[in-house]
Copies of this chain bind each other. A is one copy, B any other.
C-alpha cells in the first residue's frame, strides 16, 4: 500500500488534493471503494468518475478540476500511469527456486530457476537466472531461455529455439513446431521438407495462450523485442516481426511474411504469405491482408453487419457487380448520345 505522494515520487505526476491518502489496490471507477485508486482515461466515462467511490483517481491535466473533492494524481497519460501503478501493486509471483521431483531435467539448471512438476527439459538446454518453467512444460534439446522469462504451465519450446529475457509465455503456446512445408508429387502426394530453422524471440516478448509459432524451414522465424502476441495466433515459418508490434487474438500470419515495427494487428485478421508490411501499420480486426503494405496507416477490409434478411436482399447483387457496372456504362453511353442530340 502506498500514499499518493509515495506514488508520484516513484512514478512521476503530481498530486492534487490530499497527498497523504493511502491506496491499496487499483480498480475500475465502477468497482472502486475505500482504499482503491482508479483512473479516468477517456472523457466519455466522466459520469462514472462522478459516481465512483474511489479513494483517489488518476486524471489527465484537462480533467484536473473535474472532481475537486477527491485526491487525484495528474499525469499526461492516465492509462499508462495506471499500468505502472498496477504493476507496483501486483508484482509477478516470487520465484520459488528449485526443481520439482516430478520433473525430468537432462540439463544443468541454475539454482535461481523454478521448475514445476511434470516438466521435461532435454539435453543442452540453457536457462537464464530466475527463469520460471511452469508445470508440464517441455523444453527441447539445445533451446535457450533468457533470464527472468516465465513460462506458464504446458508451454512447449522445441529444440534449438531461442527465447529472450523477461518474456512471458502463456499456457498451451507451442514455439518451434515444424513449419508447413511440403513439395507435391505429380500424383498429388506430399513430400515433407524438413524444417531446420529455429524460432528466435527477442527480450520482453509476451506470447498468448495456445499461440503457435513455427520454426523456419531453412532460415529462422523471428519475433522482435517487445512484441506482444495475444492468444491463438498462428505464426508460420520464416515470418519476421519487428519490435514492439502487437497482435490481437486469432490472427494468422502465413509463411515468409515480414511485418514491421510498432504495427498493431486486430483480432482475427490474417496476412497471406511472402508479403511485406511497413512499420507503424494498423490492420483492422477481421481484415485479410492480401498484398504488401508500404506505407504506415490504417488498413481495412470488412463487411457491414446486417440483419440476415437485409443481407440476403443486398448480397445477392455482389455476385453481379460486374453486370451492374456494365449497365451503368451503357446508361452513360446512351445518355452521352442523348446529350449530343439535345445540346442544352
Interface residues of chain A, those whose CB is within 8 Å of chain B, are 26-28, 31, 77, 79-80, 82-84, 86-87, 89-90, 100, 102, 104, 116-118, 120, 134-136, 138, 140, 152-154, 156, 158, 168, 170-172, 174, 177-178, 180, 182-185, 188-194, 196, 206, 208-210, 212, 214, 218-219, 226, 228, 230-232, 234, 236, 243-244, 246, 248-250, 252, 254, 261-262, 266-268, 270, 272, 282, 284-291, 293, 297-322, 324-325, 327-328, 330-332, 334-335, 338-339, 341-342
Contacts and interface: CB of A to CB of B under 8 A. Distances in A.
A324 B325 contact: yes
Contacts of A304: 290, 301, 315-316, 318-319
Contacts of A231: 174, 177, 180, 212, 214, 234, 236
Given A189-B226, A212-B210, A286-B288, A182 B83 contact: yes
22 contacts: A31-B218, A80-B184, A83-B192, A102-B102, A134-B138, A158-B171, A170-B177, A174-B209, A182-B228, A188-B244, A190-B228, A210-B210, A234-B250, A234-B267, A270-B286, A290-B304, A299-B306, A306-B319, A316-B322, A324-B324, A334-B339, A341-B342
A285 B273 CA distance: 10
A26 B303 CA distance: 43
Contacts of A234: 230-232, 249-250, 267
Given A210-B210, A308-B300, A331-B335, A77 B183 contact: yes
A334 B339 CA distance: 9
A291 B193 CA distance: 34
A100 B321 CA distance: 63
Contacts of A86: 193-194, 196
Nearest to A191: B83
B302 A311 contact: yes
B262 A290 contact: no
Contacts of A252: 232, 249-250, 267-268
Contacts of A89: 194
B244 A248 contact: no
A82 B188 contact: no
Contact of A154 (B154, B236, B289): B154
Contacts of A79: 183
Nearest to A233: B232
Contact of A342 (B153, B244, B250, B338): B338
A246 B182 contact: yes
Contacts of A293: 305
